[in-house]
Structure 1
Amino acid sequence: MIQRVQTIFLFLIAVAMGVALANPLWEKVGAQPTEMAHLSALQYSYQQGITTFVDSVWYLALLIALVGLVSLYAIFQYKNRLTQTALCAVNALMLTAIMGIILYKTLYAGKEYGDPGDQGNFLTGFYAIIVALVLNALANRFIRRDEKLVRGSERLR
């Protein structure tokens, strides 16, 4: 049924992905006040002096949007819990890919700006993705628990 606890978790995943799309993920201030690197879901920008360089990371925004859409779709697959479990697994893979992209962009590509020892600050969007990872694990756990309950009750009939 749609009023199960995993529905709340799946909906909160979609909300967290909206937060991740709307808020910055990471920033780093360089040695001089004019040096700054910034990562959002759509672009990776860095400023050195008066020059600003912008790299598009549209694939990151696409993955974030896909996670939100898949979790919303999984809500309405409540009659087929195996499909819901598979969709949660897909979400887990995409969330892992998102975290990998973000960590690569911040820890490796971000080292060349400013102080190499400073890794920068992770912001609201990054933490929303971490919350989505936890919520996805919880949703998957409750979906599997419901499936186990249904299989156990069918065995009694």
Structure 2
Amino acid sequence: MIQRVQTIFLFLITVAMCLALANPIWEKAGTQSPAMAHLSALQYTQEQIVTPQPGLPVQTAPATYADTVWYLALLIALVGLVSFYAIFQYKNRLTQTALCAVNALMLTAIMGIILYKTLYAGKVYGNPADQGTFLTGFYAIIAALVFNALANRFIRRDEKLVRGSDRLR
């Protein structure tokens, strides 16, 4: 039935993925005050203050490097859509379990991409000892991992209950 507890967790995965798409994931301060590096679901940007050379005019705007990470946004959107689709597969719990397994793989890939971008690619920016700050989008992805594990657990519990009641008949 659609009013089972795993439905709530699958819906919360969808909400968490919407939050991850809408909010920044990570940021790190540069060596100078206004310089920052940002990672969102769609873009990785680095702002650096250009130091003027003697004899040249002073630049007031920071130089910006932007790298699109559309594949991260695509994976986040796919996790949200798959979990929303899994809500309506309540009559086939094995399909729901398979969809949760696919979600777990995609969430692992998302975490791998984020950790690579922040810990390795972002390490060269600014102070190498500073790892930066994880923001709302990152914690929404972690919450989605937890919700996915809980949804899978309750789907398996329902399947076990149904198989146990079939044996009694």
TM-score, normalised by the number of residues in structure 2 = 0.92
1:1-157 alignment runs, 5 A limit: 1-49=1-49, 50-157=62-169
Q: Provide the alpha-carbon RMSD of the alignment.
A: 0.5
Instruction: State the Cα distance separating 1:133 from its structure 2 match.
Output: 0.2
Instruction: State the Cα distance separating 1:40 from its structure 2 match.
Output: 0.1
Instruction: State the Cα distance separating 1:36 from its structure 2 match.
Output: 1.1
The runs of 5 or more residues in structure 2 that have no matched partner are 50-61
Give the whole-Å Cα distance in 2 for the aligned partners of 1:111 and 1:19: 25
Deviation per CA, 1:89-133: give whole Å up to 9, x if none.
000000000000000000000011100000000000000000000
Contact kept, 8 Å, 1:74 with 1:87, in 2: the verdict is yes
Instruction: State the Cα distance separating 1:34 from its structure 2 match.
Output: 3.2
Give the whole-Å Cα distance in 1 for the aligned partners of 2:3 and 2:34: 51
Larger-Rg structure = 2
Give the whole-Å Cα distance in 2 for the aligned partners of 1:33 and 1:84: 49
Give the whole-Å Cα distance in 1 for the aligned partners of 2:109 and 2:14: 17
Deviation per CA, 1:57-111: give whole Å up to 9, x if none.
0000000000000000000000000000000000000000000000000000001
Instruction: State the Cα distance separating 1:30 from its structure 2 match.
Output: 1.1
The runs of 5 or more residues in structure 1 that have no matched partner are none
Give the whole-Å Cα distance in 1 for the aligned partners of 2:25 and 2:65: 17
SS at match of 1:148: helix
Write the letter of the residue equivalent to 1:128.
Answer: A
Write the letter of the residue equivalent to 2:23.
Answer: N
Contact kept, 8 Å, 1:67 with 1:91, in 2: the verdict is yes
SS at match of 1:112: coil
Give the whole-Å Cα distance in 1 for the aligned partners of 2:148 and 2:64: 37
SS at match of 1:111: coil
TM-score, normalised by the number of residues in structure 1 = 0.99
